[in-house]
Chains A and B, each alone.
Chain A
């Protein structure tokens, strides 16, 4: 089953490679991984999407928690949560195509963020399936480049995955 795990880790050189190394050394899957510093510059937030049997995901959580750089870990899978991913897609848009592609972008609530006489670059956020759907709608056109950010997620409601203040 697919799991989405949110991790706070020390914002230190090497912390990311510890996580990546753990996955390759133990043969776990990583579907996507995003990481950036938080409002507290000593911490990074990582969102990791993985999959495996319950036993394997249980080991993944325990092994991640065991890393000395991991400050806090929450598995969002069972929570009511919001997931977002960003897509930047560059697609050929010439002549009559231009209006139609713009319409499609509007339908998906995408935004055209760069325009040339031959191409549009469109920005779209949403969950993974929405991005997939948009890409497949554009499949019949000439897609020049696809850039996806990987998933980030947060629990709905008041609960928060934050470091305990000492």
Chain B
């Protein structure tokens, strides 16, 4: 039979599965319940769409999210009504804040019961409205295929984001003929792709005139697959390039033009260069408050060019001189062409002076830490060793806290889609389920989940999912017995009153891992770090939980306190304002 069309009538549940297949969906992350049992029955009867059974619906959304971030393809989720939908909300909001394409299907009570406070009824459309790109309720089985098609289209185009489709149970039993709609376009939704040529020419002229140019590139480079175009442009300009937390890997971290991450825990050189630059090219970045610090002190001397596919990201927090709406890859390509077409070239002498200044800042070695310590494991050392042993080629997921910042600082990502973390919402519990999605998408790759003893416990149940699907994830638990990031703020801003940031009654993580059928190792001496990592990385077939007992009071440096300027950094060496 022809793909995409059936002559016989199918049930809504069968159409659901056919649509997923015709969209090319590989994995469906889900958890069953009453409202979606017809769909689960249809899934049972086929093998093309593989269902991954998680242990909590939050895990399903994060796993789909990890799959999406590491592949660029949409992550797909199926949960039941009521508590299934509410459990999924944290993961939906996480994807929303970081612009990750997800399509989340929530079961709903029968159409005739909606609004009656029926068993396991929640207004999933209402609850998710503020944290989705769009959502749909299916009211007629004849609309199901076209709504699903639109959901995938909206989730994956323009500025990507999660889309929720709420499907009442009766719709999944009703029958109709199945046609896979060819054209998913909506009259009210037409994202801009190409940048305005006049603005691009203006931007090129401004860039060549710069004496102290700076490139600030964010998650939009990764989301928009624009790393090659960005790299080519930055190299042409010979300008310093910084990435946001979400943009890491968008420009090769080992390139000499890379000055590290910027922002609250960014490098000294990146933040100082932001402060002193005269022309700033911002691409696929949204001027988040963790990046800008005090807006009044932000880039005081710079004329700003901003490229973003979402017009609402431009001029939202910071006024810019040249706004360009469009896909990063296409605009950067055209911008490079425009630069090459101008008669003037970047000012070599000015650039050389600019780099001398930057090299001075670099020489402060702001990421230095006590490497010589042989008493206690420094968390940075674990990550440096992980980087060395994996040759920078692993997929690294992370939870939220100090460990996340150290991973961002010490694992040098040369490729996009390798660094998978929750930046916008900062969701503890993200790391392990995200690693599930990444490992499924890249079965041969090394996937490391960098986490903390507090974060890992928020979705620890997914160790069971890892066992079921034989996922050989390496869990790097930087166990400081503290909610370290919270403790750090309490040390700095609350005179060391450690209110509820100390974790007592921690589980024995080694035994915990073993009880789930995995291997566990506890490491408490710096000398054992490398051997343990080698052993874990060598076990291609098993999940290994590495419980590193790390320095309890290590802090993340540099640090810009909320509301301070880029030139007002705390550094580790002098613990003073730079």
Contacts and interface: CB of A to CB of B under 8 A. Distances in A.
Interface of A: 9-10, 13-14, 17-18, 21, 25, 55, 58-59, 62-63, 65-66, 68-71, 163-164, 166
Interface string B128-166: 011001110100000000000000001000000000000
Interface stretch (B182-190, B255-263, B471-479): B182-190
Nearest to B134: A68
Contact of B188 (A13, A14, A68): A68
B563 interface: no
A17 B129 contact: yes
B310 interface: yes
A163 B190 CA distance: 13
B312 A70 contact: no
Q: Indicate the size class of the contact surface on chain B.
A: 10 to 19
A69 B137 CA distance: 13
Nearest to B310: A66
B125 A70 contact: no
A126 B312 CA distance: 35
Interface string B110-124: 000000000000000
B254 interface: no
Nearest to A10: B188
Nearest to B133: A68
Contact of B312 (A21, A63, A166): A63
A59 B188 contact: no
A69 B310 CA distance: 16
Given A59-B312, A63-B312, A68 B154 contact: yes
B187 to A, nearest CB: 6
Contacts of B186: 68
Contact of A21 (B129, B133, B134, B189): B129
A71 B312 contact: no
Given A14-B137, A55-B315, A63-B312, A21 B188 contact: no
A17 B315 contact: no
Nearest to A26: B130
Contacts of A70: 188
Contact of A62 (B133, B187, B189, B312): B312
B137 A9 contact: no
* Residue among A59, A163, A164 facing the most chain B CB atoms (10 A cut-off): A59
Contacts of A66: 310-312
A25 B188 CA distance: 22
Nearest to B139: A13
A71 B189 CA distance: 7
Nearest to B187: A71
B129 A166 contact: no
A14 B315 contact: no
A21 B187 CA distance: 22
B187 A166 contact: yes
23 contacts: A14-B125, A14-B135, A14-B137, A17-B126, A17-B129, A18-B129, A21-B129, A55-B315, A55-B319, A58-B315, A62-B311, A65-B312, A66-B310, A66-B311, A68-B134, A68-B154, A68-B188, A68-B189, A70-B188, A71-B188, A163-B187, A164-B187, A166-B187
B525 interface: no
Q: Which 10 A-B residue pairs are closest in the complex by CB-CB distance?
A: A62-B312, A68-B134, A71-B188, A62-B311, A68-B189, A25-B130, A63-B312, A21-B129, A66-B312, A70-B188
A99 to B, nearest CB: 51
A130 B158 CA distance: 45
Contacts of A17: 126, 129
* Residue among B133, B154, B186, B311 facing the most chain A CB atoms (10 A cut-off): B311
Interface in B280-325: 310-312, 315-316, 319
Contacts of A18: 129
